[in-house]
Amino acid sequence: MTPIIQKPTTDSDGCDVTSISGSTGWFYSDVVKDHFFHPRNFMEQEEEYRDAAVGMVGSPACGDAMRVWLRVDPATERILECKWKTFGCGSAIASTSMMSEMVTENGGMTLDEARAMRPQDILSRLGGLPSRKIHCSVLGDKALRAAINDWYRRQGKTDKMEVEQSRVIDPETKVTDKDIEDAVLHGATTLDAVQQKLKVGIGNPACIPEVEQLIRFYKEKYGGA
């Protein structure tokens, strides 16, 4: 893999790309660059991991996809190995590289510990990412959770699987909580911005308080995205 890091750009208003803290004149940290140019635990030989648990999110046809492989100690449920491969940008590569390092360091996280890890924990270790790249950084986290589910399925422990299910927030537009999550991850962090994307609550104002609550929840979950 020969990644090419993107040069700093400006947004539509001519401002520098900003960090999640809101500061300007900021771009990829040295830690992000290191994990981008020297990714840890990148999958080289898939055929050697046919016995491993695997999770995938996204679609190569849409430009972003992530696959994660796990080997876990059945006795302790600690992660022994975490391999990954992506069709994604530098932020996806760096954040997943960091995630794979975090779940395997110091003897490996338990599956419960890995599930409790938050996207902002990864962002903190990276030194942050540009706001517009936060949605790319969660691909590895979502694929990791899918791989954990696959491991439990293979072990016959289906009661420990955690399957995310969407919930309809606006019956008129059929907008779900996952639609709102995706909108926030792609930069819609106010009610007006979410409504521009999804038309949620325009014909059904009764759902607006819940929409606003979800926006706040997802902004906090993803570190101020």
Q: Burial level of 214, CB count in 10 A (0-12/13-18/19+)?
A: buried
- If one counts the domains in the chain, the total is 2
Residue of 82, 89, 136, 207 with catalytic role: 136
Alpha-carbon distances of 88 from 12, 62, 98, 129, 144, rounded to whole Å: 22, 10, 15, 15, 16
Which of 141, 160, 179 is a domain's end point? 160
Which of 131, 160, 189 is a domain's end point? 160
Give me the count of residues in the chain. 225
pLDDT at 145: 95
Q: Which domain holds residue 175?
A: 168-221
pLDDT for residue 15 is more than 90? no
Residue of 15, 62, 82, 207 with catalytic role: 62
136 labelled catalytic: yes
Q: Give a yes or no: residue 36 inside a domain.
A: yes
| Domain shared by 128 and 62, yes or no | yes
pLDDT for residue 185 is more than 90? no
Q: What is the CATH number of the domain that holds 207?
A: 1.10.10.1100
| Domain shared by 155 and 172, yes or no | no
Q: Which residue matches tokens 């990954």?
A: 84
Q: What is the pTM of this model?
A: 0.74
62 labelled catalytic: yes
Q: Give a yes or no: residue 18 inside a domain.
A: no
Higher pLDDT, 192 or 61: 192
pLDDT at 13: 31
pLDDT for residue 158 is more than 90? yes
Q: What is the CATH number of the domain that holds 71?
A: 3.90.1010.10
pLDDT for residue 25 is more than 60? no
| Domain shared by 107 and 211, yes or no | no
